[in-house]
Structure 1
Amino acid sequence: MRDLERIKSVLEDVQDLIDNLGSKKISVYQSSKGTPVTDADHMINDFLQKNLPEGNEGWLSEETFDDLIRLEKSKVWIVDPIDGTRGLIYGMPEWVVSIGLFDNGSLIAAGILNPSTRSLFLGSKDVAPTLNGQPIFLSKCTNLSEATVAISRSDLWQGYGHLLENAPFRLVAIGSIAYKLALVAAGYVDAAISLSPKNEWDIAAGVHLIEILGGSVKDLDRCELNFNSHNTLQNGVIAGTDGIVDQIFSYMEKIG
């Protein structure tokens, strides 16, 4: 419970930080990986790193060099200061701050904040997930042909869209995999697919929220996801209820 309160408190402070930025121009540049990054990414990362870890807790973040010391820690924060940076840059309300907490082999708490919509998703192994304090639930959809499935905009840009162009379900493109997973957890979409590799910090919080609710998140080989690993990259994800995820995999196997 205390861990979730820590996440809630720090994300409320992040909302204030973003509000205080107002209409100030955000500087954009290329990261060493060739992806866009802003000074807001670093501002939020520095704030979270200063205010979240306590004692011997480890840290894994997209915007912090990974010295692998975290592998020696039992408790590790897995953080993406801004997931969906392009959304921030282009004024699309699809970027989020994502925080997951890993302890002794499993995720135990999570928070995802969408500052644009003031949406705060929270949950832990002891506290049922909520959106702005109200309980959330996975979709009740059981038939893939009736499902709405969120796909990454980046997948479309990178040419993966043709794999799903004749899909027997409704596709909606949404930036930020963390946000898509949060929307799955809240039942706003029935499932989410990312066909391109994702890092632990992109998905940890969203995975935890969905799994608490009894949903399923698998990599593209249909394997369970591991966290606080030496290699933080996952080969993609499919998320939703067990039944919908199974049906998506069956469809993907048919199209090769």
Structure 2
Amino acid sequence: MSDLDLLLDAARAAGKISMGYFQDNPEIWHKEGDQGPVTEADLAVDKMLHADLLAARDYAWLSEETEDNKDRLDAESVFIVDPIDGTRAFIEGAYHWSHSLAVATGGIVQAAVVYLPAADKLYAAERGKGATLNGETITVSAQNEINGATVLAAKPNLDPWFWKGAKAPPVTRAFRSSLAYRLSLVAEGRFDAMMTLRGTWEWDVAAGGLIVEEAGGDVSDRRARLVRYNNPTPMINGLVAGNAPVHHGLVARLL
């Protein structure tokens, strides 16, 4: 079984667990340091993924809901997992939360799955082999300029102090709770780009980033640098992803 097939099976199994809690008043806790909520569904999915994936592969482990073990830094390959990305949407009963699963080798993601069980959307990619949605090939949009581009981003990302000339580009902003889903929507061509300009946890974007790349898009940190994963602090300097013209237009205007 390939790593991608392993992730696909694991994502579907995660969906069965999470849907058992969805819209059923799951127990909720709030993490220390204003790190957001976590539900019993997050923890149940994390426990299953940790057990099943590590039983199948001798890889290291990095997950939002598991205490970090720095032994992963000595590993060639690592699972990078967000059991439920978009937990607030999950709590609210909205559909746009996801399971985000990736395998990175040598710091570069090689296989990735983003699954939205409440929406029946399964995105997948393997490096060099393209990206799919529910088994059908997907590609980024054909928008060829930044003017009028549609960009998935939280509202503060368009604040003037992020941009040259203290002026955000003339884009149309939209929002989804899950960063993994935002990336997948860009890969699908439904939006031209996405960006998050604050420090970004690896588990939020590892899977979606490969899906965008394999759909023909460009992905970088906010300084236009290649993103590498399994860092000592598993956080990157923001993320910008989109088709090539819009991606380049955005990063060129960022301070």
Structure-2 separation of matches of 1:27 and 1:33: 19
| Partner amino acid, structure 1, of 2:188 | A
| TM-superposition CA deviations, 1:151-192 (whole Å, max 9, x none) | 03xxx3xx4443388531111122111110111111111000
Please say if residues 107 and 208 of structure 1, whose CA atoms lie closer than 8 Å, have aligned partners that are also in contact. yes
Deviation at 1:223, TM superposition (A): 1.2
Deviation at 1:12, TM superposition (A): 1.3
The equivalent of 1:98 in structure 2 is 100
The answer (yes or no) to whether the contact 2:23–2:93 under 8 Å persists in 1 is: no
Query: Secondary structure of the residue that 2:125 maps to in structure 1?
Result: strand
Say which of 113, 131, 140 aligns to 2:115: 113
Structure 2 distance, partners of 1:133, 1:37, is 31
**Residue 92 of structure 1: how far off its partner (Å):** 2.1
Displacement of 1:126 after TM fit? 4.7
Does the 8 A contact of 2:158 with 2:168 survive in 1?
A: no
The structural deviation recorded for 1:23 is 4.2
> CA 1:20/1:71 → structure 2, altered by over 3 Å: closer, same or farther?
same
Tell me, in whole angstroms, the C-alpha distance in 1 between the residues paired with 2:106 and 2:240: 25
1:37 aligns with 38
CA apart distance, 1:19: 3.1
| Corresponding residue SS for 1:174 | coil
One-letter amino acid of the structure 1 residue matched with residue 100 of structure 2: S
TM-score, structure 1 as length reference: 0.90
> Aligned-pair distance for 1:201?
0.5
| Alpha-carbon distance between aligned partners in 1 of 2:193 and 2:67, rounded to the nearest angstrom | 32
| Residue 234 (structure 1) aligns with | 236
Q: Is the 8 A contact 1:137 1:187 kept in 2?
A: yes
Q: Residue type of the partner of 1:52?
A: L
What residue in structure 2 maps to residue 16 of structure 1? 16
Offset at residue 55 of structure 1 (A) = 4.3
- What is the TM-score with the length of structure 2 in the denominator? 0.91
Specify whether residues 249 and 235 from structure 1 end up closer, same or farther in structure 2 by C-alpha distance, changes over 3 A only. Answer: same
Q: How far, CA to CA, are the matches of 2:178 and 2:23 in structure 1?
A: 22
Q: Structure 1 counterpart of 2:44, which letter?
A: M
- Show the 5 A alignment for 1:1-256: 2-21=2-21, 23-34=23-34, 35-53=36-54, 54-152=56-154, 156=155, 159-163=156-160, 167-253=169-255
Letter in 2 for 1:12: R
Cα distance in 2 between the residues matched to 1:110 and 1:235: 21
Alpha-carbon offset, residue 209 of structure 1: 1.0
- Write the letter of the residue equivalent to 2:27: S
Aligned-residue offset at 1:214: 3.0
Letter in 2 for 1:236: G
Q: 1:58 to 1:48 in 2, by over 3 A?
A: same
Q: CA RMSD in A?
A: 1.8
Asked if structure 1 preserves the Cα contact closer than 8 Å seen for 2:42 and 2:65, the reply is: yes
Gaps of 5+ in 1: none
Q: Is the 8 A contact 1:111 1:121 kept in 2?
A: yes
Decide whether aligned partners of structure 1 residues 142 and 41 sit closer, same or farther in structure 2, where only a CA change above 3 A counts: same
Q: Give 1:24 shift.
A: 2.5
Does structure 2 conserve the Cα–Cα contact (< 8 Å) formed by 1:56 and 1:73? no
Supply the AA of the counterpart residue of 1:6.
Answer: L
Does the 8 Å contact 2:219/2:242 carry over to 1? yes
**Deviation string, structure 1 residues 26-55 (Cα, Å, up to 9, x no partner):** 111111232111111101111111111234
Whether contact under 8 Å (1:94, 1:174) holds in the other structure is: yes
Offset at residue 225 of structure 1 (A): 0.8
Give the Cα–Cα distance (whole angstroms) in 1 for the partners of residues 205 and 29 of structure 2.
24
Code of the aligned partner of 1:162: D
Question: What is the percent sequence identity of the aligned residues?
Answer: 30
Preserved CA contact (<8 Å) 1:151 1:193: yes
| Distance 1:19-1:173 versus aligned 2 partners, 3 A rule | closer
Looking at structure 1, the residues matched to 242 and 22 of structure 2 have their Cα atoms a distance apart, in angstroms, of 35
